[in-house]
Structure 1
Amino acid sequence: MQIEIDANKRTLQGKGASRRLRVEGKVPGVIYGGEGAAQSIELDHNNLFYKLKLEAFHASVLSLKVDGVKEQVLLRDVQMHPYKPQVLHVDFQRVDTDKKIHMKVPLHFVNAELSPGVKLAGGMVSHVLTEVDISCFPQDLPEYITVDLSEMAAGSTLHLSDLRLPENVEIPALIKGDNLPVATLIVQRGAAEESSMS
């Protein structure tokens, strides 16, 4: 499912113009990259604010409609107000379907309760990473990567090389030889001792 978002071209630039837009319930933004020149845009604040709550909005190729013309883009940067629930600025990057993209995608951890380390040893899974940097063509971009914890034993660690990646998706860190830990299964000393004493 592709997420669509509407925008209009923005002609007035500068801080004053951006402030006026925000007062009107709009968010200034920019689209850059690809063949076209950078284009200043404005978006409806509330619509954008709710879309930003969707995990998929941050890790999907989006369909951005600017004055009726659709472009395939990625969300690249969001500036939020320090304490108000307000989006101040947003950046989108055009997608070239023939070029690989680098994106951070979220990790979804499943089956922790089935793992021997949790079931038998009363351990807890600690998530070392919550997202991972991947490289792939836009059409192969996954919304998230599932991390199956069902085989984890007490004291074990799951690494990037243990992840089952979707087809045509690579992890640049692994290519560089950085096999980072993704999750560890920790057993609390007290819990183990109590169960042996009883």
Structure 2
Amino acid sequence: MELEIFERLTTKKNEIKKLRWENNIPAVLYLKGSSQNIFIKKEDFETITRKIPKGRLSTTIFTLKNKDKSFKAIIKEIQYNPVNYQIIHLDFLKLLEKKEISINIPIEIIGEDKCIGIKEGGSFKRILRHLKIKCLPQDIPKNFILDVTDLKIGQSKKIKDIDISENIKHKRHLEEVVVSIIKR
């Protein structure tokens, strides 16, 4: 996913409003305690994000390009207008090849429609939606997949049931429940 970035020379409120009025999104690029004010074209960002599956924006690696450089980054934070839910600001985190980052990875549940426990009259209860991990940029998974097809009423799937690469670290307890099937 490639995005063109432009340098933003001001942090004044009226100038930022003008940027938004001109269909741009103000942003900040962070790296090792330093930051750079930038902006991107709203239309370009929306075109790219339409192609990203729901829930995977936080794990998408963008190639940010300006006149003379390009580098990899992920979205650290998105700020929305509370009235119309339009994006009003983005924070990017520049990725370094040999530096680990902490990131939330979505846990995708599959087999819910075929789940034995649900067919027997049970109810699906989801406890955990994301797993915070630490890894190198090249090891960032798009998501973790957890199959619940074989779950019966009273059973659960835990973090230990997720296939997690050895290159990935997390601080959650392996016995922590992700999903369970409960009686209605």
Taking structure 1 as the reference length, what is the TM-score of the superposition? 0.82
Aligned residues: 181
Aligned to 1:41: 38
In 1, Cα distance between equivalents of 2:27 and 2:13: 13
The one-letter amino acid of 2:112's match is A
The share of aligned pairs that are identical, in percent, is 22
Distance 1:115 1:107, change over 3 A: same
Distance 1:60 1:166, change over 3 A: farther
The one-letter amino acid of 1:6's match is E
Uncovered stretches (5+) of structure 1, i.e. residues with no partner: 189-198
In 2, Cα distance between equivalents of 1:141 and 1:135: 9
In 1, Cα distance between equivalents of 2:117 and 2:175: 22
Per-residue CA shift, 1:126-176, capped at 9, x if unaligned? 2112211112111010111101112312111222122111452222223xx
Per-residue CA shift, 1:93-146, capped at 9, x if unaligned? 111111211111111101123333234x22232211221111211101011110
Aligned to 1:194: none
Corresponding residue SS for 1:38: strand
- For 2:183, which of 177, 183, 187 is the aligned residue? 187
Per-residue CA shift, 1:51-79, capped at 9, x if unaligned? 44534332122211123521111100111
Equivalent positions of 1:64-79 (< 5 A) are: 64-79=64-79
Question: Would the aligned equivalents of 1:60 and 1:142 in 2 still touch at CA under 8 Å?
Answer: no
Question: Would the aligned equivalents of 1:52 and 1:58 in 2 still touch at CA under 8 Å?
Answer: no
Uncovered stretches (5+) of structure 2, i.e. residues with no partner: none
Equivalent positions of 1:169-188 (< 5 A) are: 169-174=168-173, 179-188=175-184
In 2, Cα distance between equivalents of 1:116 and 1:11: 58
Aligned to 2:89: 89
Question: Would the aligned equivalents of 2:109 and 2:148 in 1 still touch at CA under 8 Å?
Answer: yes
Are 1:26 and 2:31 an aligned pair?
A: no
Question: Would the aligned equivalents of 2:56 and 2:106 in 1 still touch at CA under 8 Å?
Answer: no
In 2, Cα distance between equivalents of 1:159 and 1:186: 15
In 2, Cα distance between equivalents of 1:78 and 1:40: 15
In 1, Cα distance between equivalents of 2:115 and 2:164: 20
More helix by share: 1
